[in-house]
Structure 1
């Protein structure tokens, strides 16, 4: 007679509560609600770039997947000279959401996420996404 071997697996939603908060994944969406980024850190806790307040994502220390599409290279004039940015945009609405300094994805030390371009709540824009512009009156 053959030997019968059985095994069982117990699953519970309690395991989700036991996971360490630092090891959880964070999901971010474009302003149009398109899924764009999953990362192992909260973007609000990452350092920011002084020149444009973009979130600095280390390509060495962080694990992430950015589903934005590569866009054109843009040359910006900065106070200290020029800066070349290889930009990424949302595949759904074409909003620019991130950039790198190197042409190939994740080949440089950092990826920069533009301030206010992503939200962690689908269908809801972050407070810094929309800036009120005060109209100026011109004197003729």
Structure 2
């Protein structure tokens, strides 16, 4: 059985205080992606299991990050519309099953 907190929607702002994300359940209940490429741990949001609202600008072109094994990963980055700080990314140009939130770029709105 889920706890009442796990069913609530949590809202987050960018470091500049601009609202950028609402997600249910709150990020404290979502899995994490290890900080392998960027050095930043990401929160995994499965779009088929979570409610997600993103208010940001998504890059039209990917940022390619090279793994230690030589393969590349394409990130389609979401940026704050006010200050341009990256706060989330997808790994596909369209219809990505997951969105990854950069927790270090977000502040919870009370």
TM-score (norm 1): 0.67
Runs of 4+ in 1 over 2 A off after TM superposition: 20-23
Identify which of 76, 87, 90 aligns with 1:97.
87
Q: Does 1:119 align with 2:107?
A: yes
**Counterpart in the other structure of 2:43:** 55
**Counterpart in the other structure of 1:108:** 96
- For 1:32 and 1:77, how far apart are their aligned partners in 2? 29
Question: Per chain length, whose mean CA-contact separation is higher, i.e. which structure has more relative contact order (CA < 8 Å, sep 6+)?
Answer: 2
Greater strand share, structure number: 2
The count of residues paired between Structure 1 and Structure 2 equals: 101
Q: What value does the CA root-mean-square deviation take over the aligned residues?
A: 1.5
1:68–1:119: structure 2 CA closer, same or farther, 3 Å change rule? Answer: same
TM-score (norm 2): 0.83
Identify which of 71, 78, 89 aligns with 1:88.
78
Stretches of structure 2 that go unaligned for 5 or more consecutive residues are none
**Counterpart in the other structure of 1:3:** none
Stretches of structure 1 that go unaligned for 5 or more consecutive residues are 1-19, 123-140
